[in-house]
Amino acid sequence: MPRTLAAAHLPDELVAAWCAAAASWFGPGRMPLPHAPEKAELALVDSPLGRLVAKRVHTRGLRGRLGTLGLARGRAARAFRLAAALSARGLATPEALAVVPLADAQVLVTRHVEGPHPWDFLARGGAPRTLALTLARELARLHAAGFRHRDLKASNLIVQGPTVAPSIVWTDLDGLALRARVGNRTRARDLARLSMSFESAAARTAGVRADLWPEVARAYLTATLKREPTAPELERLLTTTRRWRESAIRRHLERGDSVR
């Protein structure tokens, strides 16, 4: 039988109702997410718990089909467990409530978290430097807790709190992984992916200057090392992230993809 996962505090009848209704969430009456209306795999759902987000994760290949049947860990189930692990380590992420099965997919159900994405935060009056340093420190916390995120971009981050002291909510956990140790190469790759977003047209429109990135790298190293980085340490990180970022941007453009 297809496998259902649910948070311990949820009543069985509510989970059963979600299982029965999940397919309809993505039908003609789908309520799109305001920031991503084109993403048909995402839907807003009204429930007795308030507004939720449902993400349909299609099964691919043998492992994906086994995941739907509960015989292997599917992507939605993996994200469900990682969300709990993030929260247990004091890192903010939407609460994962359930994973319900469809015929060819799993649906991850999470609470809907209000808040702008980084460049929208700036449009609402946030300061680019304040946001950049917050992102650097929060990424250092993520790595210190043993997590890495392969898809760090503005659309996967939510900014909450006052403009003078914002905080970060980590979303879209497909790119997240929990490791015994996050090494220097992995740290640089995650930073490089984030720096791609800093190079996007949306970032420039929001007021992010190209010369802000060295401050991000310095703040990240300071939080990681618990001291000011030396000039060679900072230059090494900047060189590594710049090389990877430029290569990744080139691949995106060759495929016709936009940089976000």
Which amino acid is located at 223 in the chain? A
Q: Among residues 28, 76, 87, 75, which one has the least CA distance to residue 53?
A: 76
Can you read off the two tokens belonging to residue 247?
């290569």
Give residue 16's pLDDT: 96
**Phi, psi dihedral angles at 168 (to 5 degrees):** -115, 135
- Rounded to whole angstroms, the maximal C-alpha distance in the chain is 59
Which amino acid is located at 140 in the chain? A
The pLDDT profile of the chain, 260 residues, written as one tens digit per residue, is 457 999 999 999 999 999 999 999 999 999 999 888 899 999 999 999 999 999 999 876 545 555 555 544 688 999 999 999 999 999 999 999 999 999 889 999 999 999 999 999 999 999 999 999 999 999 999 999 999 998 999 999 999 999 899 999 999 888 899 998 899 999 999 999 999 999 999 999 999 998 999 999 999 999 999 999 999 999 999 999 999 999 999 998 889 888 88
Give residue 258's pLDDT: 84
Distance of alpha carbon 104 from the chain centroid: 24
Give residue 60's pLDDT: 65
Domains of the chain: 5-111 (3.30.200), 118-255 (1.10.510.10)
Give residue 72's pLDDT: 45
